[in-house]
Amino acid sequence: MKKFNILIVGGGSTWTPGLLKSLCVRKDSFPIGKLTMVDVNEERQAVIGEFAKILFREEYSELEFEYTTDKQAAYAQKLDFVFVQMRTGGYGMREQDEKIPLQHGVIGQETCGPGGFAYGLRSIKDMAQLVTDVREHNPKAWILNYTNPAAIVADALQQLFPEDKRILNICDQPENLLRSYGRLLERDPRSFDPVYFGLNHFGWFTHLYDESGNDLLPQLRDMILDGGFRPVDYEQRDQSWLDTYAMVEQTVRDFPDYLPNTYLQYYLYPDKVLKKLDPSHTRANEVMEGREKRVFEACHEVVDKGTTVGASVVHNDAHGEFILIVAESIAYNKGDNFIVIIKNEGIISNLPDDAMVEVAASLTANGPRPYAVGEIPVFYKGLIEGQYAYERLTVEAYIENSYQKALQALTLNRTVVSAQKAREVLDALIEANGDFWPELK
């Protein structure tokens, strides 16, 4: 069996231990020859890298492993897959992304609204560099990108590398929703055949077929309207995520056609959500005080003890497993169904061909083969076109160094609307992002 060479970019992420554990669990179905991790943050990479050495010694001794802060050396190796989960500016900048808009009375969120805009301008630069450098040495490696804001990153990469067919942008939220539906319906979520359309963090499930072709969506909608909605792993979730999932019930009550992605709450109910957000303590704080602290403490504990046996559990296996089943579907041409981000080109027939849409696809050795969606109703089309214009203008603001396009982008965003507020927030974000951003003239 071929052994694959893998590079994890963003090896110091809080999500990495879960991915490493999943690599161990799946070593027979997806054998790895060499694994490399790279992160620009030496301290974080070292903690997780040392933890990994112990984990692999105990569970994957045949694996060749190294970690580094040298991006060029990492990209120059012979690679089959690159898993990208970088966060330019770290949680410190996520905190700014969330807090600055809130100071102006606008939604502050990691990927939606001005926060996602700010993060987008930071991510594009590093992602474009990564693709250029990886391709110099590895023209055929698959770049599986989980870096946020995925919608903006995907659009930027599509503009900057239009011929590159081996970059796949994918988000775990549709999969999280499918798993949550599975728990509610008491069925295996992998048996579902979903129909989904939209943009990343901005989409809807229209059907959820079972193996016999029955659409389970009407039943699921009734269950949500009767009993509310929770994430599959609600026992492990922080309150802010429980609140987010709970908003699905109201969304379905107002717009019962389809089941919404949870991120739509920020666009459809910005005033209501805003009241729940605390400008002095945002999700970034919750993550830094919770998951980040837990993961790094647990890794330290393993390193101090010299064993993972009896140590605190550091991993979220579901997330790592998702990354690997996506890779396996490509590696072995399995054609499993996933919801992916892909250039529209007629999939949703009444949206622009060049939009990066999120839809169901069969994932093969040649990448995603999308399933046609056809025409979508005017309400959804209108929402998506506004968001698509915002995303496109964000990318153009980056490429053209255009303050004017940045201002247009934020004005179009449903979480902002007022051009005056858009300018205030934009100026504050320029100040906070410094050299992370291109100069906007």
Label the pairing between strands 142-145 and 81-84: parallel
Please list every residue from 85 through 124 that binds ligand G6P, using CB under 6 A: 110-111
Q: How far apart are the C-alpha atoms of 329 and 336, rounded to whole Å?
A: 6
Pick the binder of ligand G6P from 130, 171, 302, 397 (CB under 6 A): 171
CB 359, CB 373: distance < 8 Å: yes
Q: Which does 325 bind (CB under 5 to 8 A by kind): ligand G6P, Mn ion, none?
A: none
Q: How far apart are the C-alpha atoms of 279 and 15, rounded to whole Å?
A: 26
Task: Return the CA Rg of the chain.
Answer: 21
Binding segment for ligand G6P (CB under 6 A), chosen from 28-36, 39-47, 165-173, 207-215, is 165-173
Pick the binder of ligand G6P from 19, 141, 232, 287 (CB under 6 A): 287
Q: Which does 94 bind (CB under 5 to 8 A by kind): Mn ion, ligand G6P, none?
A: none
Is 172 a binding residue for ligand G6P by CB under 6 A? The answer is: yes
Structure tokens at 328: 């396996």
Is 315 a binding residue for ligand G6P by CB under 6 A? The answer is: no
**262 or 411: CB nearest ligand G6P:** 262
Is 327 a binding residue for ligand G6P by CB under 6 A? The answer is: no
Residues in the chain: 441
Which residue in this structure is represented by tokens 């990564």?
Answer: 130
Q: Which does 41 bind (CB under 5 to 8 A by kind): ligand G6P, Mn ion, none?
A: none
Is 148 a binding residue for ligand G6P by CB under 6 A? The answer is: yes
Catalytic entry in 263, 380, 388, 398: 263
**368 or 438: CB nearest ligand G6P:** 368
- Taking alpha carbons only, the member of 71, 64, 18, 22 closest to residue 42 is 71
Catalytic entry in 91, 133, 172, 427: 172
Q: How far apart are the C-alpha atoms of 374 and 403, rounded to whole Å?
A: 36
Q: What Å distances lie between residue 366 and 167, 168, 250, 324, 333, CA to CA?
A: 11, 11, 40, 17, 8
CB of 110 to ligand G6P, least distance (A): 6
Residue 263: active-site member: yes
DSSP letters for 310-344: TSPP---HHHHHHHHHHHHHHHTT--EEEEEEEE-
Strand residue runs (E) in 184-224? 193-199, 202-209
Residue 210: active-site member: no
CB of 87 to ligand G6P, least distance (A): 9
CB of 263 to ligand G6P, least distance (A): 8
Residue type, 155: D
**159 or 173: CB nearest ligand G6P:** 173
Binding segment for ligand G6P (CB under 6 A), chosen from 166-174, 329-337, 374-382, 421-429, is 166-174
Q: How far apart are the C-alpha atoms of 56 and 307, rounded to whole Å?
A: 10
Pick the binder of ligand G6P from 21, 122, 166, 283 (CB under 6 A): 283
3-state SS string over 38-64? ECCCHHHHHHHHHHHHHHHHHHCCCCE
Structure tokens at 45: 């990479």
**17 or 174: CB nearest Mn ion:** 174
Q: Is the peptide bond before 270 cis (omega within 30 degrees of 0)?
A: no
Residue nearest to ligand G6P (CB): 173
Check residue 72 and report its DSSP letter.
H
Is 318 a binding residue for Mn ion by CB under 5 A? The answer is: no
Helices and strands, number each (H, E), in the chain: 17, 12
Pick the binder of ligand G6P from 173, 250, 285, 350 (CB under 6 A): 173
**130 or 287: CB nearest ligand G6P:** 287
CB of 198 to ligand G6P, least distance (A): 13
- Taking alpha carbons only, the member of 238, 246, 290, 297 closest to residue 269 is 246
Q: How far apart are the C-alpha atoms of 108 and 350, rounded to whole Å?
A: 31
Please list every residue from 157 through 216 that binds Mn ion, using CB under 5 A: 171, 173
CB of 186 to Mn ion, least distance (A): 26
Binding segment for ligand G6P (CB under 6 A), chosen from 17-25, 96-104, 170-178, 334-342, is 170-178
Q: Which does 112 bind (CB under 5 to 8 A by kind): ligand G6P, Mn ion, none?
A: none
Q: Which does 287 bind (CB under 5 to 8 A by kind): ligand G6P, Mn ion, none?
A: ligand G6P
Q: Give the strand order in the sheet containing 193-199.
A: 193-199, 202-209, 259-260
Task: Give catalytic residues, as residue numbers.
Answer: 172, 263
Which positions lie near ligand G6P, rule CB under 6 A? 110-111, 148, 171-173, 283, 287
Which positions lie near Mn ion, rule CB under 5 A? 171, 173
